[in-house]
Amino acid sequence: MLPSLSRSWAAVVLVLGLAAGACTTPAPSTGPARDGIRPMLTPELRQVLDEIRTADAGQLAISEADGRFLRFLVVASDAHRVLEIGGASGYSAIWLGLGLRETGGSLVTIEYDAERAAALAANIHRAGLDDTVRVIAGDAFAAIPTIEGTFDFVFLDAWKPDYLKFFEMTLPRLDRGGLFVAHNVVNKRDEMIDFLDAIETSPDVLTAIVSPASEGMSISVKR
């Protein structure tokens, strides 16, 4: 196994184990983690998450099971430079941010709708993740080229017909061994057939599809 791929290949093995039925809801973290940081799912943080979902009239937030799974993926893959496309009101960004608190990484999350982007920034602040999560309001196609560097984890949960465009746009900037994760690949499969064909046939990635909840996620590791 190539050293540069070992970290994410290990994460993929864990993902496949979860897909086979090994997934359980993790207990709240206790004890020290890397650099002494292992963020707890406190009552205050739970309240923020619950309020986001309660206010989510458009049903744009991911499920709690998917949120916990994202946190797991970030920690398992030791992600440090994460991009989220389609941040909505911040539910998924909080789960990603909790994982990044453990790895010492950071997240850039982009939301097109100005009102949702404002709520996203406010919820990140309420969750105490301002030092970990950067919010960009605006068109992700315009914003992504302005972000410096590469990514080792991309989470896509935007307009479904644009999935292939975002995949093609970000893959060249995804580190070898990095993960590209897309949401709603089961319940909205018909809206992204071209994207699913691409990730399943591209020689540049190895893909697994799992369903922590009913919506489904694709996890592609860059070779």
Give 159-196 pLDDT, tens digit per residue: 999 999 999 999 999 999 999 999 999 999 999 999 99
**41 assigned to some structural domain:** no
Q: What is the 3-state secondary structure (H, E, C) of 68-100?
A: HHHHHHHHHCCCCEEEEECCCCCHHHHHHHHHH
Provide the pLDDT for residue 12. Answer: 52
- Give a yes or no: residue 98 inside a domain: yes
Rounded distance between C-alpha atoms, residue 60 and residue 66, angstroms: 13
Cβ within 8 Å of residue 188, ≥6 positions away? 160, 215
Quickly state the pLDDT bin for 58 (edges 50, 70, 90).
Answer: confident
Residue 33 has what pLDDT?
A: 45
Instruction: Give the three-state DSSP class for 26.
Output: coil
- Confidence (pLDDT) at 57: 82
Identify whether the C-beta of residue 87 lies closer than 8 Å to the C-beta of residue 117.
yes
In a domain, 35, yes or no: no
Residue at 181 is within a domain: yes
Give the count of domains, the chain: 1
Q: Which tens digit of pLDDT belongs to each residue from 92-149?
A: 999 999 999 999 999 999 999 999 999 999 999 999 999 999 999 999 999 999 999 9
Dihedral, CA of residue 40, residue 41, residue 47 and residue 48, to nearest 10: 80
- Average pLDDT for the chain: 87
Rounded average pLDDT over 208-214? 95
Q: Per-residue pLDDT tens for 24-56? A: 344 334 333 444 456 778 999 999 999 999 998
pLDDT at 4: 46
Q: Is residue 205 part of a domain?
A: yes
Q: Is residue 44 part of a domain?
A: no
* Four-residue CA torsion sign, 153, 177, 217, 41: negative
**What's the CATH number where 71 sits?**
3.40.50.150
Predicted confidence at residue 59, as pLDDT, reads 81
Contact assessment for residue 85 and residue 140, using Cβ atoms and an 8 Å cutoff: yes
Where in the sequence is the domain holding 137, given as residue range(s)?
3-17+54-222
Instruction: Tell me the β-bridge partners of 205.
Output: 222
49 domain residue, yes or no: no
Question: Could you tell me the pTM of the whole model?
Answer: 0.86
Residue 25 maps to a domain: no
Q: Which of helix, strand or coil describes residue 211?
A: coil
**Burial bucket for residue 138 (CB in 10 Å: 0-12, 13-18, 19+):** middle
